[in-house]
Amino acid sequence: MATALQHLDQYDPDALPSGEGLRIGVVTAEWNRKITLALRDACLQTLIGNGVAEASITAVQVPGSFELPSAAQMLLEYRELDAVVCLGCVIKGETRHDEYINHAVAQGLTDLGLQYGTPVIFGVLTTEDEAQAEDRAGGKHGNKGTEAAVTALRMVGLQRHLAAAAPSESAASDSGPS
CATH number of the domain residue 38 falls in? 3.40.50.960
Residue-range definition of the domain harbouring residue 143: 27-161
Q: For 9-67, how does the pLDDT look when each residue is reduced to its tens digit (9 = 90+)?
A: 788 888 899 999 999 999 999 999 999 999 999 999 999 999 999 999 999 999 999 99
Q: Please check whether residue 112 is in contact with residue 76, taking contact to mean a CB–CB distance below 8 angstroms.
A: yes
Question: Amino acid identity, residue 2?
Answer: A
Q: Kindly list the catalytic residues.
A: 97
Would residue 13 count as lying in a domain? no
- The pTM for the full model equals 0.90
Would residue 82 count as lying in a domain? yes
Q: Provide the 10 A C-beta neighbour count for residue 38.
A: 22
84's enclosing H/E stretch is strand 83-91
137-139 vs 57-62, strand pairing mode: unpaired
User: Which pLDDT score, from 0 to 100, does residue 1 have?
Assistant: 43
